[in-house]
Amino acid sequence: MIENRPWLNFLAHAILVVGVLVVAFPLYVTFVASTLTLDEIIHVPMPLLPGGHLWENYSQVLTAGSEGGAAAPVGRMMLNSLIMALAIAFGKIAISIIASFAIVYFRFPLRKLAFWMIFITLMLPVEVRIIPTYKVVSDLGMLNSYVGLTLPLIASATATFLFRQFFLTVPDELAEAARIDGAGPLRFFKDVLLPLSKTSIAALFVIQFIYGWNQYLWPLLITTEESMYTTVIGIKRMITSGDALTEWHLVMATAMLAMLPPVAVVVLMQRWFVRGLVETEK
Amino acid sequence: MEKRVVFRSRWLPYALLAPQIAVTLIFFFLPAGQAVWFSFQLQDAFGLKTQFVGLANYAALFADSNYLASFKVTAVFSVLVAGAGIAIALLLAVMADRVAKGALAYKTLLIWPYAVAPAVAGVLWAFLFAPSIGIVTYVLKKNGVDWNWVMHGDQAMLLVVMASVWKQISYNFLFFLAGLQSIPRSLIEAAAIDGAGPARRFWTIVFPLLSPTTFFLLVVNIVYAFFDTFGVIDATTQGGPGAATHILVYKTYYDGVKAADLGGSSAQSAILMLIVIALTVVQFRFVERKVQY
C-alpha cells in the first residue's frame, strides 16, 4: 500500500463486489431455475429463490433426458464429455511431450521442417477449416465415434511449445550426467525429464480438459446419434423454438451439470490453471 | 536457444515425432489444402460433377452483399467484444491489485466463467433476456424498454456481445492482474512521493507499462470474437434476426453445412485462414518490438 486513502479502498471493494455479483448473476438464476417447475418459470416473473424440485429435475435429466427435444439421458452425455475431455487432454500431452523431446534433445535432418509444421498449426482453429476436416473424418469412417471426436483436436501446437520452452530451461548438466552414467535417451526421458515436467503437465491438463469439455462445433458436426452427444450439444438440442415450449427447468439443470466439472477443475486447481494459462500463451 | 548436450540416434527422433506429425498432416494440412483446392471449384447441386472455376468463387463472394454485410457485422461484433472485455477486465484487475484484503477470494470469484462453454454462456444469457419469460426482460419492460431480441437486430447483437464478454472477462482479468503485479512498486512509490495522485499514476505509469499485455489481449480477444463465439451465436440468435449477428465463421458454417455450398464455403475458409495468419503476424511483429510508452 502506497498511501492510505480510505475512500479509494472502499471504492475498490465496491467495484469488485459489483463485478463479482454481475458475473455470478446468470449462474444464480440458472441454479434457481433448475430447482423450479416449468410452470413456475413461465409464470413471469419467475421467483428468485430456489424452489423444491432440485432432486426431481436433476434425476430426470440424468437418467431420462427431456421430454420434447432430445430424449437422451444427460448421464450418458456427461460420460461422453468426460471421455472426450480426458482423451484430448491426455492425448495432447502425450504426443506433444515426446515430440518436443525429439525437437529439443536430438539433431537430425528435417528437424526445422518438423518444428515449423507443428508451429503453423498454432494459428488455425478448427472453426476455420470445418468442412474439409469433416470430410476427411467422414472418409475415414470416424463419424459418431470417440476417435472421430477426439483425434482431430489433439493436433495442436500449444502443448508442444510449452514443453519445448520448459525443456530448454532444464540444465544441460542433467543430460550430460545421464549420458556419462550410460543412460540412453529413453531412460533419461523417463527418469529425469518426466518427473521434472510434473507441474507443466498439471497446468496443461487443466487448460486442455476445459478445452475438450467445452467443444461445440466439432461434436455438433460429427455426432448425429443421440448416444454420442456431449453435454453441451445436449443442451442445444433441448432448446426448441419458442420460449414457452422449451422445458427450461430441465435445460437449466443440464446447463448446471455441463458447467460443474470444468468450473470445479478451475477452482480446485486454480494455481495450475493460472500458470497453464499464462504460460501457454506467452 | 539450442541445447549443447544432445542424444544420438538414427531412428528415435522420428519415432517420437511420428504421432504428432501424422495427426497434423491428416487433420490439418490435408483439410487446409482441400479447403484451398475446393475453393477453386464449382460443384453441381447433387455433388456429382465438379468443375475448375479458378477465382470465380472468390469473385462471387465479394460481389455478394450478404458476405460484405457479414464482414461488417463481424467487425462491429469483435470491436465491441474486445473493447468491452478489455475495459471491464482492466478496471477489475486494477481494483483487485489495489485491495490488500480478500484479493484471492475476488480472484477465485471472477475467474470461473472461463470454464463455461461458449454455447452454455449463450444459453444462460438468452434465458435471462428471453423475450417472454426472461427475468431481465421483465425488469426492462417495467421500465418501458421494448426488449425483444428475436425481433430487433441491435438487441440481438447486444445479447451475443454480453454473453461473449462475460465469458472472456476472466481471461483478460488474469492477464492484467499478472501484468500489474510485475510492475515494480518503486516506480509507483516514486511518483506518489512526487505528488502524483492515483489517477495520474495510472495513466502516466501503469497504463503505458501494461501496453504489451493490452496489445496481446487485443489480438487474442479479436481471434476469440472471430472464432470461439460460434457457440454463443449458434445457441442464441443463430445469426438472426435477418443477418444481424451473422458473423463470418457462422456464415462459413451455414453455407457449408446447411446450404451445402462447398466451393463458396471453402473460399470463405481460405479467407478466414488469411485473416488469422495476418493477425498472428501482426502480433509477433509487435510483441518483438515490445509496445511501451
pLDDT of residue B293: 39
pLDDT of residue B256: 81
B130 or A276: which carries more pLDDT confidence?
B130
CA distance B125 to chain A (A): 7
Rg (alpha carbons) of chain A, rounded to whole number: 24
Q: Is pLDDT of A243 > 80?
A: no
Cα–Cα–Cα angle for A72, A73, A78, rounded to 5 degrees: 110
pLDDT tens digits along A51-87? 888 888 888 888 877 766 556 788 889 999 999 999 9
Cβ atoms of A105 and A185 within 8 Å: the answer is: yes
Cβ–Cβ below 8 Å for A117 and B31: no
A127 touching B (Cβ < 8 Å) = yes
Cβ–Cβ below 8 Å for B124 and A255: yes
Q: Which residues of B45-67 are buried (b: 16+ CB within 10 A; e: fewer)?
A: eeeeeeeebeebbbebbeeeeeb
- Closest CB to B21 among A114, A154, A188: A114
CA distance A71 to A85: 23
pLDDT tens digits along B14-44? 999 999 999 888 888 888 888 888 888 777 6
User: Which residue, chain included where needed, has cell 511501451?
Assistant: B292
Lowest mean pLDDT among A2-11, B120-129, B167-176: A2-11
Whole-number percent of chain B with pLDDT over 70: 95
Q: Is pLDDT of A24 > 50?
A: yes
Q: Is pLDDT of B100 > 80?
A: no
Q: Is pLDDT of B192 > 70?
A: yes
pLDDT of residue A67: 67
- Classify residue A89 by burial, with Cβ atoms within 10 Å: 0-12, 13-18, 19+: buried
pLDDT of residue A89: 93
pLDDT tens digits along B72-98? 999 999 999 999 999 999 999 999 988
pLDDT of residue B291: 47
CA distance B290 to B271: 29
Cβ–Cβ below 8 Å for A129 and B269: yes
Q: Is pLDDT of A274 > 80?
A: yes
Which band of pLDDT confidence, cut at 50, 70 and 90, is reported for residue A141? Answer: confident
Which band of pLDDT confidence, cut at 50, 70 and 90, is reported for residue A25? Answer: very high
